[in-house]
Structure 1
Amino acid sequence: MSQLYIGIDSGTQGTKAVVLDSDSGEILAEAYATHALLEDSTGLREQDPAWWIAACEQVLGEVTSKVDAASIRGIGVSGQQHGFVPLDVDGNVIRPAKLWCDTATTEQCASITEKMGGPEAVVNAIGNSVAAGFTASKVVWLKDNEPENYERLATILLPHDYINFWLTGERKTECGDASGTAYFDVAKRGWSEEVLAAMDPSGKLAECLPELIESDQPIEVVQPELARKFGLAADVLVSSGGGDNMIAAIGTGNVAPGVVTASLGTSGTIYAHADKPVIDPKGELAAFCSSAGGWLPLICTMNVTVATELTKAVLGKDTVELNALAEKAGVGAGGVMLLPYFNGERTPALPGATASLHGLTPGNYTPENLCRAAMEGATFGLKYGLDVLKRLGVNPTEIRLVGGGAKSKLWRQIVADVFGCPVVRPVVEEAGALGAAIQAVWCVQRAGGADVALADLTAQYVTMDASAGAMPVAEHVEKYADLYEKYLALDAAMRTLNA
């Protein structure tokens, strides 16, 4: 009888679930449910964790109805990083979860950093800076703005931890997702007493942290009532899970040095596996742990497909038309260059920056060049992140490309040419859900006594689409090297206005 594993990927916009057959490597079933979002002009971005659970119930109900549920052996969960889920002593959610994209906590970032002795002291203590997206500032925001709710706080969970809590009743976390809280020492792989004291000198927060486990350890079996509801066996294990980037790394086979994953989503990420901590003294790089037992140095940029989506909207074009126009323009977009800071920028740290079009003339101000400049500008932004990784000793042999932009053949070629590196694309696009299922296989097999390596499992389950690769073209690489220097010069010239 086949052994099946469920992977759940709970993101900001929705929840995806897949069922992986561990024998054949096939995805036997999948389902998706959307989430609502609470937001306002102050930068507030929140969700009720009950929405995540409702979405999980929906997708679990759908996928278990399509397969033999009794054959399911494990469940893995990937969740949006950094969100803050506050629980009281009885395990009830105190208030809506503040998300990674909530920027209403910038004042708290500055406060924590000041109490730590400045940015350099923070990096020395934990390997990361205190960014607005990270969890620490959100916890202090609760203390500063809702003291009655803070008084009730008994447990701090991250989004994937909360879904694991719902599945098992256990309050646990693992190093990968925990390393994005900004109160976790990535080198020592443990909580930072120093930052926790800066957040609240009373010592309360140390009592609110979940148990820390290793990535190859299971949380516990699924709670009996949920097992009965979905037709599962009583001994189905829930793996440690992890943050979305950490689990997507597993889902793209990025579990050994040399591979770099780049995501062309609304925002962009670029990250690699490392066998030891990779810490940036300048604080531009997120020095995360992985959910594979190692480390995951990562760069995030805020503007990738947002640039092409806005260009499509202005020109009244669809995706197919945008790609066709961009291809006609050719390398360099006729001299038009886009600095794509529509949402500000995280890397480089320019939260108040705006986008700029440069090099316009009567002859090159065309739809073709605008479309091409949107793709090239967003790719140059990711190239900046790749250069940070290279500066810290991470040298890619290939780029594994995921996200909506990776569906474009032209954009894959642009990435190969700008990065000067071969580009490949995984067959399974849902890297988060697949990675969660693979990690569940790993945890279940190791819990059963098998000495299985995660790299062997990803080699078995993660395959590349041979028809969707791209090799750098020497002539284009040379042209883009010159254009990238002009991009950096444009960025430097605009820093005074964009600071």
Structure 2
Amino acid sequence: MADQLYIGIDSGTQGCKVVVVSRSLGKVIAENSSPHTLMENERGGREQDPAVWVTALETALESALSQSLRLVKDGQVKAIGVSGQQHGFVPLDRDGQVIRPAKLWCDTETVPQCTTITERLGGEEATIAAIGNTIAAGFTASKILWLKENEPENYRRLHTILLPHDYLNYWLSGEFSAEHGDASGTAFYDVRNRQWSQFALSAIDPENDLLAMLPPLRDPHQPAGRIRPELAAKWNIPSDVLISSGGGDNMMAAIGTGNVSPGVVTASLGTSGTIYAHSNTPVIDSRGELAAFCSSSGGWLPLVCTMNVTVATELVRNLFGLSLKEFTQTIAASHVGSGGILLLPFFNGERTPALPNGSATLHGMSTTNFTKANLCRAAMEGVTFGLRYGMEVLERNAIAPNEIRLVGGGAKSPVWRQIVADVFGTPVVSPLTTEAGALGSALQAMWCHETTQGSKATLGEICDRFIKLDQESRCQPDEGRRQQYGDIYSRYQQLEGELRRINS
């Protein structure tokens, strides 16, 4: 009997990662990646041409598929799942063609439009009451109004509004669809009632019917479509391969870490930082600091996002021309607290706390502590303090971890994993497959395929079969360092508070 293969695609800010999962072997049997390029400006604009995503997807998928079929010669692809960076705005014209580059989650050029939409909705409290979230800088809603106000000719061509993963599903299948988890990060989606919000859409544009430009919503177990015939022929895969509903990168990473039932907390050390947990009911933060998302597994996914994680560490690493190994060794040569140096890592502004116009700050330097090792460690500690603030927001909303499952590029560093354990005072462990977004996409695709075949298997059961924790990655907090970091974190909070007026 032919082995059943499932492809998971994770199209992020920095690149596209693809994994192939074998049902019979119960593991990832092939993976590959391809980089993306980013367009930036000094106004806070962060954009990518969706054609870049497609090129990277094809490059990574073809390589991973070739690897897998060499290992499993009778393997047959059954379904493909896509994880995409959240909040991006892909505008299409009547012919389904991209009108302009996509504005991304890390774009802060649309801050004035956030204010306008919030005012039209009756203020922040009324906005949270209506949709469950604030109109955060980076969410999709403000990008649409920005296009209307800044590029009216392009706006007049607008016919379909898609998120990045929606666009890749469209490219793969030829069909328009959206999914509740990713849709909940747009700020024009009603999180409590799991539907598009006409109220919010009317605040973005009172004159046009934006609801008609949005694709239909799919439940997470439902397919978005089937592979386009020309792609099936090009990749030599069956013509009936399913494209699952997919979801946002955080939603897929939740699946990829087994975070599909209450009690598990996942933290991601990627370009941005996220920390989140599954809930069976909506979790709405009255202060608006917690993103009240839906999950891509049928529930909700309360989440806190910080804008700068590997952004900050990579800037410092590249400044000193260090390899990843040298960077880790340099940090290990420093000590807790980086000799007194603190970094507020707001290089891209910040979402939590809400400081879209914020900038990074180094504090506490002297003639004796101004060393390469201390500056490198200060970057790693600073972004970890930012995530600790996010954990406190979750705890304020009655979500507390017994263990943190750490994913993302930063999770591969033993030094960083230990810093996270000590700063949070909580055990940390990584899954064996750290590319959680891609793995989660493959497992959701498997669930989708099994459901269409009449199986009653739950996503939780599938996760239990395929997700294994890397016990060698486990880090326990050291009580002495935990107390030290508690004092340093208090200094970090004090510094951020003193500078908030300047960064607002």
TM-score range, shorter chain: over 0.9
1:114-153 equivalent positions in 2, closer than 5 A: 114-153=119-158
For 1:168 and 1:329, locate their aligned partners in 2 and report how far apart those are by CA, in whole Å: 51
Residue 440 (structure 2) aligned to one of 418, 432, 435: 435
1:128-207 equivalent positions in 2, closer than 5 A: 128-207=133-212
With 35-44 and 115-124 compared, the bigger mean Cα shift is at 35-44
- Contact preservation (8 Å) 2:349, 2:357: yes
Residue 418 (structure 1) aligned to one of 396, 420, 423: 423
For 1:103 and 1:344, locate their aligned partners in 2 and report how far apart those are by CA, in whole Å: 8
With 304-313 and 393-402 compared, the bigger mean Cα shift is at 304-313
| CA offsets 1:100-149 (integer angstroms, 9 cap, x no match) | 22222222111111111111111111111112211111111222233333
1:151 aligns to what SS in structure 2?
helix
Which residue does 2:14 correspond to in 1?
13
Does the C-alpha gap of structure 1 residues 322 and 230 become closer, same or farther in structure 2, counting only changes over 3 Å? closer
What is the Cα deviation at residue 361 of structure 1?
4.1
Which residue does 1:65 correspond to in 2?
66
Does the C-alpha gap of structure 1 residues 485 and 211 become closer, same or farther in structure 2, counting only changes over 3 Å? same
> Is 1:476 paired with 2:476?
no
Does the C-alpha gap of structure 1 residues 100 and 354 become closer, same or farther in structure 2, counting only changes over 3 Å? closer
Residue 447 (structure 1) aligned to one of 445, 448, 452: 452
For 2:359 and 2:22, locate their aligned partners in 1 and report how far apart those are by CA, in whole Å: 47
- Contact preservation (8 Å) 1:64, 1:231: no
Letter in 1 for 2:282: P
Aligned length: 499
For 1:2 and 1:208, locate their aligned partners in 2 and report how far apart those are by CA, in whole Å: 40
1:4-403 equivalent positions in 2, closer than 5 A: 4-66=5-67, 67=69, 68=73, 71-403=76-408
- Contact preservation (8 Å) 1:102, 1:132: yes
What is the Cα deviation at residue 29 of structure 1?
2.1
For 1:291 and 1:122, locate their aligned partners in 2 and report how far apart those are by CA, in whole Å: 23
Letter in 2 for 1:217: Q
- Contact preservation (8 Å) 1:69, 1:231: no
Does the C-alpha gap of structure 1 residues 93 and 463 become closer, same or farther in structure 2, counting only changes over 3 Å? same
- Contact preservation (8 Å) 1:276, 1:295: yes
What is the Cα deviation at residue 184 of structure 1?
0.1
Does the C-alpha gap of structure 1 residues 4 and 316 become closer, same or farther in structure 2, counting only changes over 3 Å? closer
2:9 aligns to what SS in structure 1?
strand
For 1:330 and 1:37, locate their aligned partners in 2 and report how far apart those are by CA, in whole Å: 34
- Contact preservation (8 Å) 2:13, 2:271: no
For 1:84 and 1:387, locate their aligned partners in 2 and report how far apart those are by CA, in whole Å: 30
| CA offsets 1:242-301 (integer angstroms, 9 cap, x no match) | 011111111111112221111122321111111111111111111111111111111111
1:338 aligns to what SS in structure 2?
strand
What is the Cα deviation at residue 368 of structure 1?
3.4
| CA offsets 1:294-330 (integer angstroms, 9 cap, x no match) | 1111111122233333333444544333333433333
2:431 aligns to what SS in structure 1?
coil
What is the Cα deviation at residue 16 of structure 1?
1.7
Which residue does 1:409 correspond to in 2?
414
Letter in 1 for 2:279: A
- List gaps (5 residues or longer) in structure 1: none
Letter in 2 for 1:387: E
Letter in 1 for 2:401: P
Letter in 2 for 1:493: E
2:369 aligns to what SS in structure 1?
coil
Identity over the aligned pairs, expressed in percent?
A: 58
- Contact preservation (8 Å) 1:10, 1:16: yes
For 1:382 and 1:469, locate their aligned partners in 2 and report how far apart those are by CA, in whole Å: 19
Letter in 2 for 1:109: C
Does the C-alpha gap of structure 1 residues 228 and 322 become closer, same or farther in structure 2, counting only changes over 3 Å? closer
Does the C-alpha gap of structure 1 residues 145 and 338 become closer, same or farther in structure 2, counting only changes over 3 Å? closer
Letter in 2 for 1:251: G
Does the C-alpha gap of structure 1 residues 235 and 87 become closer, same or farther in structure 2, counting only changes over 3 Å? same
For 2:237 and 2:289, locate their aligned partners in 1 and report how far apart those are by CA, in whole Å: 44
> Is 1:459 paired with 2:459?
no
For 2:373 and 2:40, locate their aligned partners in 1 and report how far apart those are by CA, in whole Å: 35
What is the Cα deviation at residue 238 of structure 1?
0.8
What is the Cα deviation at residue 70 of structure 1?
6.2
Does the C-alpha gap of structure 1 residues 374 and 86 become closer, same or farther in structure 2, counting only changes over 3 Å? closer
- List gaps (5 residues or longer) in structure 2: none
TM-score normalised by length of structure 2: 0.94
For 1:234 and 1:317, locate their aligned partners in 2 and report how far apart those are by CA, in whole Å: 47
TM-score normalised by length of structure 1: 0.95
1:465 aligns to what SS in structure 2?
strand
2:266 aligns to what SS in structure 1?
strand
For 1:45 and 1:366, locate their aligned partners in 2 and report how far apart those are by CA, in whole Å: 32
- Contact preservation (8 Å) 1:265, 1:403: yes
With 388-397 and 401-410 compared, the bigger mean Cα shift is at 401-410
What is the Cα deviation at residue 215 of structure 1?
0.7
For 1:319 and 1:494, locate their aligned partners in 2 and report how far apart those are by CA, in whole Å: 31
